[in-house]
Amino acid sequence: MKPKYFLVLIVVALLCPLLHAQQVNKYYPSGRAPLLAPKYVKLPFGTVKPQGWLTTQLNLQANGMTGHIDEIYGSLKSLASADRGAEYLYCYYEGLMALAYLVNNQTLITKAKAAVDYIISSQTADGNFLGTTEAFDHVAICRGMIEYYEITGDSKALTFLTNYFHYVNSAGLTGNTWSTDRKPEHVPVALWLYNHTGDQIVLDAITKSCVSTLNGWRGNYQNFTFTDSANPSGGYSEYRHNVNIGHAFKYALYYLQSKDTSYKTIYTKGLPLVDKYHGSTCGRFNADENFTGKQPTQGMETCGIAEMSFSMEKLFEAFGDIAVADRAEFLVLNCFAGCNTPDMWGHQYDQQANQILVNVSKRPWNANGDDSNIFGLYPNYPCCLCNVHHTWPRYVEHMWMATQDNGVLASLYGPCQVTAAVGNDSTIVTIDESTEYPFTGTMGFKVSVSKTDSFPICFRIPQWETGAVVQTATTSVTAAAGTVCTLNKTWHAGDSITVTFPMAIRSEYRWNHSVSVMRGPLWYSLKIGEQWKKNTSHGQGSVDWGINSTTAWNIGLKIDPQHPNGSFTVAHNPVTNVPFAQKGQQVYLPGSTSFTTWTQDPPVILKGQGRILTGWTTNAQYTGNANDPPVSPLQESVAGRDTSIELIPYGSARLRVTEFPWISTPVEVLAKALTIKVPEVSATVERNGTCRITVRPTGAFDLAVLNLAGRVVTRIHASGPQSIVLDNTVLHEGAYIAQVTSGGKKFKERISFIR
């Protein structure tokens, strides 16, 4: 060997330990050699506790099907493993364990603990359990066993998982089509287990059993062939089945074991391709069983939503990609909320963006039955019945993560409390997050620390938020969209932080150049009068429901797509004890023995203008479906009758139109129709960049101009009558509320401000 090459080798050898050194969190295991460290570390299950409306939602679930499935459908022990329902029932226990402990429901904890004991006691000397050789059954149980271990510290769970991976290493992964296609679902479980135990056999088992399936998924997105966006037909392929796809995005985590960046393309290439050819609203795609293109009457299975949202949470943990965390919120807060009944007793198999009738009738599904869009016990097939239970608990689980520099990150938002070890000397921080997010964009964080210490508290700034402000008592930071805002400082007990997302209304173009309307993480659907009809009762709150419309659904929006924020006013209502209900829906409330017709509005309503389009009708062949929206923009002369309309959160609407045809209407015209008419205050918006607000009552008045998130932009004390001119250094483009207090009375006027 030539001396200079020898020297190079010595230098490389000396550098290798440094090259491998990676910063990992002191308190929460990740990145154990030879694994790469993920960007963040999920905190142990139970570390994040729900508060506010999330507690309400989880308690609804505990009192709904999750708490009663064994009384309505069957238990793990009572069903033979040959039964297809029993096979899927394994998924149920994953959700039951998580929910029971999160809401601290002793009845459910008893059920969950009995299931854990039964499963662990079934493990044989070779590591197999429940007498099944189905890899998919096994991994569903393993996913739940992680949560059980994290929340209880029961070492039997760790031994159980270790024994199972030794079994996989010697026996391989076996089973039916689903088990074969979803083998790499073991990858995240193995990464977690190896980080906790360092047992090399766990990683060997993955290398032996999963790599050829992983290579198949990678190859699928490198040479994607499912590129027909207009209702493609075609049978099953593992790569076009919605639940497989939902699972598979997270197979990109194999990069952390293999260090081969090409495995990351399973999501970096996969997500854009799926969106391009089959994307729908709310971050999902269309595939009833298999890909079906982009038409808004095509659907997606509830299992697909449950698995895709979990994948997005795991991907954010691994790679810190803001877009996938945004998408986890989209999927859970829109699609998952909306494909379940508001009381969490029933679900759909397939949900549609434009869903104008819920009934048993022929629809052009790719593979599903006529009952696929009804809400009920197990429309079409029992898999979703068993798979709906982990999604809300997992959302809570992933709301906060540990950063590798011993801080914490708010990754998904909503009311909760997190307690975690931080800093360099085991400081314990508790952060109370008070908010009605996603219905509002203001979040208050109260910090408690076991001792004064310096560590980072970080906030995910969604890609959709261009006006985020993060404030402490002494600082105010404007944070860029799609970034992480880090506050690295010394924290004292009682410190507080406010994060404000103004949530300007946005729009996106969809099928036939239709438009969808979003605000914050929520999509907004037409509020359609709903009349619920019982088809079949299965006991307690379990009913198969059909839903008829009582108001027009065939609405074209009058909107200025370039200025969607000026095309609507935002009205807030209290978040109720059924957060995703709207008027007319039937709910089986906890403690009740009969259904109640819900009479309250959803927490947010967007008020706007539209036209009932006489030419947009139901489909002649498939009478349960709307025709495609007519190609937009529509002419101003298009036949119909103008009307005021209300849009409500997609998750509150069980009938809905979400992809709207539209008539281009300038904001100035819309503002007139939307203005709150009061004689005491008026606003004139000038095109020269000024806004004149006239206050007519005599005497002292207080004028506050608020943005639509309710934050005061400017405030003036003066005497009326008076006209006040505000230029564009005060008011940026958008919609505001001018609020005048005079003589003990309050007057409001809406202002749309266009440069």
Q: How many residues bind Zn ion (CB under 5 A)?
A: 4
The vertex-590 CA angle with 585 and 591, nearest 5°, equals: 125
The answer to whether the Cα torsion of 684, 685, 688, 690 is positive or negative is positive
Distance (Å, rounded) from C-alpha 730 to C-alpha 691? 10
**Stretch of residues binding Zn ion (CB under 5 A), selected from 180-188, 381-389, 402-410, 655-663:** 381-389
Give min distance, CB of 303 to Zn ion, in A: 3
Nearer to Zn ion, 179 or 440 (CB): 179
Nearer to Zn ion, 99 or 384 (CB): 384
Distance (Å, rounded) from C-alpha 408 to C-alpha 86? 40
Give min distance, CB of 99 to Zn ion, in A: 18
Give min distance, CB of 60 to Zn ion, in A: 21
Residues 491 and 429 sit within 8 Å (Cβ to Cβ)? yes
User: Under the criterion CB under 5 A, does residue 385 sit at the interface with Zn ion?
Assistant: no
Nearer to Zn ion, 247 or 327 (CB): 247
User: Under the criterion CB under 5 A, does residue 384 sit at the interface with Zn ion?
Assistant: yes
Q: For the chain, what is the radius of gyration of the CA atoms?
A: 27
Spell out a b/e string for 600-613, using b for 16 or more CB atoms within 10 Å of the CB, else e: ebbbbbbbbbbbbb
Nearer to Zn ion, 160 or 239 (CB): 239
Site for Zn ion, residues 216 to 245, rule: CB under 5 A: none
User: Under the criterion CB under 5 A, does residue 339 sit at the interface with Zn ion?
Assistant: no
The answer to whether the Cα torsion of 505, 60, 373, 182 is positive or negative is positive
Nearer to Zn ion, 256 or 303 (CB): 303
User: Under the criterion CB under 5 A, does residue 383 sit at the interface with Zn ion?
Assistant: yes
Nearer to Zn ion, 241 or 278 (CB): 241
- What lies within 8 Å, CB to CB, of 685 at 6+ separation is 668, 671, 691, 751, 752, 753, 754
Q: Could you tell me how many helices (H) and strands (E) the chain has, helices first?
A: 20, 33
**Per-residue mark of binding to Zn ion, 269-308 (x: CB under 5 A):** --------------------------------x-x-----
DSSP 8-state code for residue 332: I
Give min distance, CB of 69 to Zn ion, in A: 15
**Stretch of residues binding Zn ion (CB under 5 A), selected from 25-33, 183-191, 384-392, 539-547:** 384-392
**Stretch of residues binding Zn ion (CB under 5 A), selected from 109-117, 367-375, 382-390, 448-456:** 382-390
- What count of Cα atoms within 13 Å lies in the side-chain half-sphere of residue 191? 24
Residues 550 and 557 sit within 8 Å (Cβ to Cβ)? no
Nearer to Zn ion, 292 or 440 (CB): 292
Give min distance, CB of 321 to Zn ion, in A: 27
Give min distance, CB of 244 to Zn ion, in A: 12
H or E, element range at 235? none
The tokens of 526 are what? 């037409």
Give the three-class secondary structure for 746: strand
Give min distance, CB of 208 to Zn ion, in A: 29
Largest Cα span, the chain: 97
642 DSSP β-pair partners: 611
Residues 747 and 681 sit within 8 Å (Cβ to Cβ)? yes
The answer to whether the Cα torsion of 567, 573, 576, 582 is positive or negative is negative
Give min distance, CB of 178 to Zn ion, in A: 11
**Stretch of residues binding Zn ion (CB under 5 A), selected from 183-191, 377-385, 571-579, 665-673:** 377-385
**Per-residue mark of binding to Zn ion, 659-698 (x: CB under 5 A):** ----------------------------------------
Nearer to Zn ion, 282 or 383 (CB): 383
**Stretch of residues binding Zn ion (CB under 5 A), selected from 54-62, 181-189, 281-289, 376-384:** 376-384
Nearer to Zn ion, 57 or 351 (CB): 351
Nearer to Zn ion, 301 or 436 (CB): 301
Nearest to 22 by CA among 185, 195, 186: 195
Q: Please name the amino acid found at residue 482.
A: G
CA distances (Å), 334 to each of 69, 283, 327, 400, in order?
Answer: 24, 9, 10, 20
User: Under the criterion CB under 5 A, does residue 141 sit at the interface with Zn ion?
Assistant: no
Give min distance, CB of 302 to Zn ion, in A: 6
- What lies within 8 Å, CB to CB, of 181 at 6+ separation is 213, 238, 241, 244
CA distances (Å), 661 to each of 225, 327, 558, in order?
Answer: 30, 25, 9
Nearer to Zn ion, 358 or 384 (CB): 384
Distance (Å, rounded) from C-alpha 229 to C-alpha 296? 11
Nearer to Zn ion, 384 or 429 (CB): 384
Give min distance, CB of 488 to Zn ion, in A: 44
Give min distance, CB of 291 to Zn ion, in A: 16
Nearer to Zn ion, 371 or 530 (CB): 371
Nearest to 405 by CA among 389, 390, 420, 423: 423
Q: Please name the amino acid found at residue 309.
A: S
Report the residue closest to Zn ion, judged by CB.
303
DSSP 8-state code for residue 441: -
Site for Zn ion, residues 252 to 271, rule: CB under 5 A: none
Give min distance, CB of 242 to Zn ion, in A: 9
Give min distance, CB of 304 to Zn ion, in A: 7
Residues that bind Zn ion (CB under 5 A): 301, 303, 383-384
